Every structure is written in structure tokens, then in C-alpha cells.
Amino acid sequence: MNQPEKNTAKDIQQEKTGIEEEAAQQREMPQQPRGDAAGGIIKQEAEGGKREKRKKSGKEKDTVREIASWVFTICMAVIAALLIRSFIFIIVQVDGSSMMNTLHNENRLFVWRAGYTFGGQPQRGDIVICELEINGAPKVCVKRAIGLPGEKIEIISGTVYINGEALEEDYVAPERFKKEDNMQQITLGEDEYFVMGDNRSNSADSRYVGPVKRGKIMGKALIKVWPFDEIGSIE
């Protein structure tokens, strides 16, 4: 009766030893993620990839928006510049000596266009920027408005007569006066102006190329802006 009990104890010991060895082997083996854990990792990686794509796409959209904003800004600036030049003001450089002594060659002038653009009309004595046909080609010139629409203009021995009355011109320097200047009387049309340079001895103007149409007068010179030591209003 004692032998079976010994065998039983021995068997128990062997079984216990086997269990411990099996447990040790399991501890040494790398743990494999369970199915649900592995699925979670894959899902997280997929979501991470989507986030990266969205982030990259967002950056690309921001770049496109920034470029579009710059293009829009530049276009608006160009349009504004064109509108200002067409309707508000321009800077014009004097070319030649026809307006001496009032203006000199290469003077730069601030020309107000809005005054004539929005209903205003040139007045006698205004220094205007106009387009004249010089030697068969159009040229932008700086001249003084002398005769107005509908008036009769005549020049006798250098003196300008408007509707039969002599015009006082203190802006014409004595050395620029041209005594031998004569022109038969003409009558200006409803949209015509007679323009002349202050340097009567050296100016291509309405005496030689005829009156200028209202549509060819671009604006009134108001301020001399160059050179800096001559900055000031123009009379």
C-alpha cells in the first residue's frame, strides 16, 4: 500500500517540474499581440497616415491661397495705377526750352488730370499738357492755354489779340518775346484751344500746328517736383 503513494508523490513532483519548465519557456518566448490589439495598431497607423495627408494637403492649400492673394494684390495695384494715371494725375517731364523762363528742360511736373476729367475745362493762362502734331507725328507737349473755344485770335508784332483786345502776358520774358511774330485772325471752334509756349522765339505751338482739340488736352500742370531746389507751384 505504501508503494502507490510514493509513485503518486513522484508523479506530482514531475508534473510540477514540467509546469514550471513550460512556464519558463513561455516567458522566454516573445509576446504576440492579440488579434484585437494588432487591429488597433493597424488602425492607428492608418489614421496617422490620413492625418499626415490632411496636414500636407492643408499646407498645399495655404500655399495656393497665399499665391492667389499676392496675384490679386498685384493685379489690384496695377489697375489702381492705371486708373490714377488715366483719371487723377501723372508726372510729366519738360522736353526742350519752349516754356522758358517759366519752366526749363527736364523739369518734372505734377499734372492734375481730375480737374479736366470730371467736367472742368482749361482756363486762359493754365499750363496744360497736350498732344500736338509736330513734324507729322503726335508729341506730348507742355504749353500755356491762350485762346478759348469760340474766341477770335490774332497776333500783331508779337502781341496776342483776343476778340480785338491785346492780351497782357507778364509770364513772357522780354528776351523771349518775338516782335516779328504775326498771324492772321482765326476763330476757334467749340472744342478748340489756342496754346503757346512762353518762349515765343522757340516754341512749336498753335501758331504753326493750329488749335488743339479739347480731347487732346490731358491735364493742368500744378507743381514743379524736380529738381528739388525748385519745388513749388506753377504760375
Residue 235: partners with Cβ closer than 8 Å, 6 or more residues away = 102, 171
Q: Is 86 a catalytic residue?
A: no
Active-site entry in 43, 53, 69, 98: 98
Rounded Cα gap, residues 71 and 178, in angstroms: 56
Active-site entry in 143, 216, 220, 224: 143
Q: Is 98 a catalytic residue?
A: yes
The phi-psi region of residue 210 (left if phi > 0; otherwise alpha if psi is between -120 and 50; otherwise beta) is: left
Residue 19: partners with Cβ closer than 8 Å, 6 or more residues away = none
Asked whether 219 and 89 are in contact (CB, 8 A), the reply is: yes
Asked whether 138 and 215 are in contact (CB, 8 A), the reply is: no
Asked whether 204 and 98 are in contact (CB, 8 A), the reply is: yes
Query: What is the set of active-site residues?
Result: 98, 143
